[in-house]
Amino acid sequence: MKIYSKEELNNFHYSLTYDDISLVPTTISSIRSRRDIELKTTFLGLDLTIPVVSSPMDTVTGIEMCRELDKAGALGILNRFDSSITKVLESNSNENGIKAVSIGLDVPDEILEKIADRNYIVCIDTANANNKYVLQKTEEIKSRYGLKVIIGNIACGSTLQDLENSGADAVRVGIGGGSVCTTSVQTGIGIGQVSAILDAVMTKKYKNLRIEIIADGGIKHTGDIANAIALGADAVMLGRMLAGTKETPGEVIKYNGMLWKKYRGSASFGVKMKNEFVEGEETMVPYKGTVLNVLDSIMDGLRSCMSYMNCNSLEELKSCESFVVLSNSSYLERLPKV
């Protein structure tokens, strides 16, 4: 069996995703209790209790989700598809738990000015960050308002220097990996999430860049979050894992004796305007209760992983260099049998 470093894994001859790899403990752990493990981190100048960022989807992040994530020490990015941003900007109070908002390229100047007045982080929410108009908008926001800017998405690190030069503070890495995203199927674009993250992380390292990396898409379990951080991501963006919680926008629906909530991609038919190209699907996910329950489960899983890997902090987890590539049978063996 070969144990791969990040650099070796980045040079692997196939594009890899989370189901293709696993962390391997190779040292004696000195961690006595998982409670001693620290998950706090700094991301875009914010002190977070957990490196989780919510996806700015209309069925994931509304005002209530932002508030609850802020209380829990995570970061919510308010979606741009309903009237939530208008409600927030028209409110007289700035104590609403909102620190980041998403915008499109056509955002009016008066909206940007109100966002700047509150010093929110801006997420330019597009499918392709490798676009001159995205870079122009980033440059405009940085020069006029000096706000922190997240852009996305990219599938590798080849343009990372250009993105940083435009003023981007963080980038969402991943194209086509979302559970309700059909971009790769529709366009033939994208690579596996592990390879996408690694290429961006290694490019950042080799070019000594400051831009922060957000692993966006393909995360199904807490183990995927642990792998994303171990690969070098600064934070993970979650959509489906947070979907179906009490705090997501939308009503709870009872069907066949079970409770459900709607979940759809940002480029799905229900979101896109008439005659626009659809790159997302809509579905229903089981109702999960409060988002705090989900975050607690994530933190428990992360601490458990870190105790195996002898990592007391997320920075130590990010320095891991012991991965294996799984055969299909190895992956299937890991799954619970019921």
Task: Give the active site residues.
Answer: 181
Rounded Cα gap, residues 255 and 169, in angstroms: 43
- Across 116-132, b (16+ Cβ under 10 Å) vs e yields eeeebbbbbbbbebbee
Give me the residue label for tokens 């979606």: 79
Q: Which two tokens stand for residue 36?
A: 């001693």
DSSP character at residue 204: H
Q: Which two tokens stand for residue 133?
A: 């108009």
Put residue 65 in one of left, alpha, beta given phi > 0 → left and psi -120 to 50 → alpha.
alpha
Q: Which two tokens stand for residue 102?
A: 């998403």
Peptide bond into 79 cis (omega under 30): no
Rounded Cα gap, residues 232 and 51, in angstroms: 12
Taking Cα atoms as reference points, which of 80, 173, 83, 172 lies closest to residue 120? 80
Q: Which two tokens stand for residue 182?
A: 């059909």
Burial class from Cβ neighbours inside 10 Å (0-12, 13-18, 19+) for residue 20 reads buried
